[in-house]
Amino acid sequence: MKLLRSDQRGFVFHLGKREKHLLLETLQLYPLIPASRHRITRNGDSPADDERPRLLEEALAEHRRENRRQLQAMLNEKHRFQETEAGFQLNLSAPQMEWLLQVLNDIRVGSWLALGEPEQGDEPEPSKTNAQCLLALEVCGLFESALLAALGVHESPRWR
């Protein structure tokens, strides 16, 4: 996935045929994070009463339903991916970039949770039961990195 150009209207990416297939298959996994994962406080010290965590959970659930609706619309939209000689062009507006980052990261974090929350570099060996999660973890990371690079966010050597 490569950025071809960006302007005020948005971003245009090139994807190979297999990349497009991999992206669409991975997006079908959304959502993966269980609702119970989201907690507003760490120690159960509710800000006011028991109502607030429930309201947050409901708001996030609605947000995920809306993401799912947008995802289905995108997958069904014939002109979202324009076929070229070398593959496909994907057009995304700035809000769609943010939305796609959220969806990809939900799948990435959800896969990590399903793998037992391993530390970096301590992921389990691939097997028939965890192959999909391991693949989704890596694929989402790659697509996220491509989107973030297009937004100008690059990893710095100073971070390590």
Partner 1 sequence: MAETVVLPDLEREEQTGSKSDLEPGWLVICWNDPVNLMTYVTHVFQVVFGWNRQKAEFHMLQVHRQGKSLLARTTMEKAEHYVHQLQKYTLHATMERES
Instruction: Give one word for 143, left, alpha or beta, with left for phi > 0 and alpha for psi -120 to 50.
Output: alpha
Please give the Cα distance from 21 to 33 (Å, whole number). Answer: 23
According to DSSP, the β-strands at 10-15 and 81-83 are unpaired
Question: CB of 42 within 8 A of CB of 53?
Answer: no
Pick the closer one to partner 1 by CB: 118 or 124: 118
3-state secondary structure of 98: helix
The minimum distance between CB 31 and partner 1, in angstroms, equals 10
3-state secondary structure of 25: helix
- Site of interaction with partner 1 (CB under 8 A): 33, 38-43, 45, 47-48, 52, 56, 59-60, 63, 98, 101-102, 105-106, 108-109, 112, 117-120, 137, 141, 144-145, 148-149, 151, 153-156, 158-159
The minimum distance between CB 158 and partner 1, in angstroms, equals 6
- For 10, phi then psi, to 5°, come to 150, -150
Please give the Cα distance from 63 to 65 (Å, whole number). Answer: 5
The minimum distance between CB 81 and partner 1, in angstroms, equals 24
The minimum distance between CB 152 and partner 1, in angstroms, equals 9
The minimum distance between CB 84 and partner 1, in angstroms, equals 28
Pick the closer one to partner 1 by CB: 16 or 34: 34
